[in-house]
């Protein structure tokens, strides 16, 4: 038999959830703030007297967690991918052309457009309607657990308004509006703390507070934009899904629009741009998504972004300032990058004092001089760049920018290879290159080893403790603990983080090595195709070119890198220390195309070439670029050319598109 106290506590839960939803989500409160505070105080009093009745979804638990020592890592069940960017109507039309080509479709595609919030992407897990975990996007594969921090955001329900069985992984954006940002910075100034540069930094900094009580004091807001697995919701379209999420009590942006065709998307962008400054919160563009989930499934994703979505950025915000100087930085591949040192100026609410000039051709083409008044913009509202000099403002005291002839760090002569726009330092012992390569290896773009950021890697390199990648996995705990700014706990944490990265995913390991022309996307392609590091090390140029997406430059660079005795020695020493990248799991042998290699030629009737390739890979097969000994099946469409003749001469199996489709479902 339930007690009167429990009955009243549950009733207060219901009342406070309802009023919080109306206030924070619907912006339509039905009681005064004082009445809400009275109900909340009553709940706190009852729970203090009956702690056995405190539940995890109680409104009182939004600030109930003790401070954390550090953030735990969370693996996303389904990766949180980035979005491809577009900057013009031409980019949008090219996006639709790619969709039509991939889908082999001539009828219009319907879209959903959503404001692109300038905040922090998060994932929130609900089990049977109860919030159980929240995490940041991180690198898309792994994020940081911020469950206690997310609980403090009033707009996010701790329990969904409708029962949902099983797991629902909600994704959305945490942000701070303009009014809240100004109020927070006033508080920062009064407390003698530095103000935040912009609302996005303020939101990100607030979520990354180890003490949830600090997060609770920050004016954070939230909008959901989807879930990890739409099929699990029973919704057929993105627009239907957003309505479903709204019914569950999750806040959905009111400016979401469904567009029947690409012309309506263009109109939606113009309307959103006109409203931008009156919204009260920052957006930096509009996200365009294919509405139908069945089409999204057909389109699939590339290594880092879905094919069915585009982030169309607003035109860059601009300002004028003085070009005071130019610094020449040395990158991890020896590339010399000129960086403009500017008189600090606010560009779209962000203070800009440095901007890349890319290379010497760039600053010469623009005719820049030291002392110039220049036009600066944040390209895509993110990256600062110098657009042009204001020549009318010159007074005759401006001087040319001179490209150095020697490396600014090691004084080695610089060289600009034929056909390249970048001048490089080719000294393999250049300290700048070595430190940046090491910092890249441990950074989020590399193995993401916590505690070994750029600053600490430079410190350990300068002290001679880390001279190459192998030394990272042979660090001495006692030696680290004695260093300035470290201590026993920091040393132990770093060694534990290093140990945890001894078996990284193969693609991540390749990207961390910093091979020229091998970024995350190329590394992922190599992982998918070859599966093991040993096969990549021994791959020939011809075998690398067989990989869809690997070009001449990347193939030559990979062969050169793994032909170097120093590289092979480094890999052998890493292996002796127990560092072995995890091999890519082989396709299941029961998949219908396992062990088969396909090549498509001619025009297909129902599939685009890209969609056909995706079907092969999704059913366990491999794709060939040319007719070779590895090829098992040639799929011949209309007007098949020389590949058909060559395949016939080599005795390869030649099939039609219809036969290929039947092979997928034997």
State phi, psi for 258 to the nearest 5 degrees: -100, 130
The number of angstroms, rounded, from the C-alpha of 111 to the middle of its chain's C-alpha atoms is 23
Dihedrals φ, ψ of 355, to 5°?
-155, 140
List the end-to-end C-alpha distance of the chain, in Å, as a whole number: 59
Query: Alpha carbon of 441 to those of 42, 255, 332, 444: distances in Å?
Result: 54, 41, 10, 8
Q: What is the CA radius of gyration of the chain?
A: 28
Name the β-bridge partners of 258: 112
Would you give the distance in Å from CA 156 to the centre of its chain?
23
What's the CA angle centered on 539, arms 534 and 544, to 5 degrees? Answer: 130
- CA 326 to chain CA centroid, nearest Å: 30
**CA–CA dist 616, 663 (Å, integer):** 10
* Helix and strand element counts for the chain (H, E): 25, 24
- The single-letter DSSP state of residue 587 is P
Give yes or no for a contact between 271 and 338, defined as CB atoms under 8 angstroms apart: no
Is there a contact between 380 and 85 (Cβ–Cβ < 8 Å)? yes
In the annotation, is 116 catalytic? yes
Q: How far apart are CA 192 and CA 195, in angstroms?
A: 9
Q: Active site residue: 70, 116, 479, 584, which one?
A: 116
The number of residues making up the chain comes to 666
H or E stretch at 99: helix 89-103
**Considering Cα of 196, then 198, then 203, then 205, what sign does the dihedral take?**
negative
Other beta carbons within 10 Å of 334: 24
Q: What's the CA gap between 585 and 563, in Å, rounded?
A: 26
Nearest to 31 by CA among 328, 23, 331, 253: 23
CA 166/CA 542 separation, integer angstroms: 48
DSSP-assigned beta bridge partners for residue 425: 414
Q: What share of the chain is helix, strand, coil (3-state, %, to 5)?
A: 40, 20, 40
Name the residues annotated as catalytic.
Answer: 116
């Amino acid at each position: 038999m339930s007690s009167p106290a429990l009955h009243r506590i549950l009733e207060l839960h219901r009342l406070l959830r309802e009023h919080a939803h109306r206030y924070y989500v619907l912006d339509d409160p039905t009681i005064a703030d004082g009445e809400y505070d009275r109900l909340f105080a009553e709940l706190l009093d009852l729970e203090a007297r009956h702690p056995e009745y405190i539940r995890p979804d109680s409104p009182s638990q939004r600030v109930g967690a003790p401070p954390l020592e550090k953030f735990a890592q969370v693996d996303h069940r389904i990766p949180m991918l980035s979005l491809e960017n577009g900057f013009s109507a031409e980019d949008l039309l090219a996006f639709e052309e790619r969709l039509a080509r991939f889908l082999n479709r001539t009828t219009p595609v319907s879209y959903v457009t959503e404001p692109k919030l300038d905040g922090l992407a998060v994932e929130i897990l609900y089990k049977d309607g109860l919030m159980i975990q929240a995490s940041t996007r991180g690198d898309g594969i792994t994020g940081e657990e911020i469950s206690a921090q997310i609980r403090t955001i009033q707009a996010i329900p701790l329990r969904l308004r409708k029962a949902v069985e099983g797991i629902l992984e909600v994704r959305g954006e945490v942000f701070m509006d303009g009014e809240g940002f100004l109020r927070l910075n006033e508080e920062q100034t009064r407390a003698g703390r530095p103000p935040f540069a912009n609302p996005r930094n303020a939101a990100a900094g607030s979520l990354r507070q180890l003490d949830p009580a600090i997060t609770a004091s920050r004016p954070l807001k939230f909008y959901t934009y989807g879930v990890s697995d739409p099929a699990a919701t029973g919704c057929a379209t993105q627009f239907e899904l957003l309505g479903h999420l709204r019914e569950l009590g999750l806040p959905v942006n009111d400016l979401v629009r469904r567009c029947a065709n690409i012309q309506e998307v263009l109109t939606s962008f113009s309307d959103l741009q006109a409203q931008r400054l009156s919204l009260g919160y920052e957006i930096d563009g509009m996200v365009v998504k294919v509405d139908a989930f069945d089409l999204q499934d057909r389109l699939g994703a590339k290594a880092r972004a879905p094919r069915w979505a585009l982030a169309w950025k607003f035109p860059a915000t601009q300002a004028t300032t003085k070009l005071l100087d130019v610094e020449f930085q040395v990158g991890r591949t020896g590339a010399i990058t000129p960086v403009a040192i500017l008189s600090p100026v606010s560009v779209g609410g962000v203070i800009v004092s440095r901007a890349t000039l890319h290379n010497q051709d760039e600053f010469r083409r623009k005719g820049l001089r030291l002392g110039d008044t220049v036009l600066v913009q944040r390209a895509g509202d993110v990256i600062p760049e110098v657009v042009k000099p204001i020549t009318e403002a010159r007074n005759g005291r401006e001087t040319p920018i001179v490209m150095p002839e020697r490396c600014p760090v090691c004084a080695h002569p610089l060289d600009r290879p034929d056909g390249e726009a970048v001048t490089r330092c080719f000294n393999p012992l250049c300290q700048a290159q070595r430190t940046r390569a090491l910092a890249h290896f441990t950074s989020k773009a590399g193995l993401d080893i916590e505690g070994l950021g750029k600053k600490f890697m430079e410190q350990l390199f300068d002290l001679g403790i880390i001279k190459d990648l192998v030394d990272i996995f042979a660090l001495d705990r006692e030696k680290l603990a004695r260093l300035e700014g470290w201590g026993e706990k920091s040393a132990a944490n770093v060694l534990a983080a290093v140990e945890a990265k001894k078996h990284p995913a193969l693609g991540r390991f390749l990207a961390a090595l910093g091979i020229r022309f091998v970024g995350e996307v190329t590394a992922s392609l190599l992982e998918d195709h070859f599966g093991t590091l040993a096969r990549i090390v021994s791959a020939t140029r011809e075998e690398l070119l067989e990989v869809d997406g690997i070009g001449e430059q990347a193939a030559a660079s990979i062969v050169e890198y793994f032909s170097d005795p120093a590289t092979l020695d480094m890999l052998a020493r890493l292996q002796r220390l127990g560092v072995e990248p995890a091999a890519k799991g082989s396709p299941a042998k029961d998949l219908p195309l396992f062990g088969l290699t396909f090549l498509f030629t001619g025009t297909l009737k129902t599939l685009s070439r890209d969609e056909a390739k995706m079907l092969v890979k999704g059913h366990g097969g491999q794709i060939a670029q040319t007719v070779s000994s590895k090829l098992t099946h040639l799929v011949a469409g209309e007007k098949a050319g020389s590949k058909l003749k060559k395949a016939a001469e080599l005795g390869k199996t030649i099939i039609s598109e219809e036969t290929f489709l039947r092979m997928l479902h034997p």
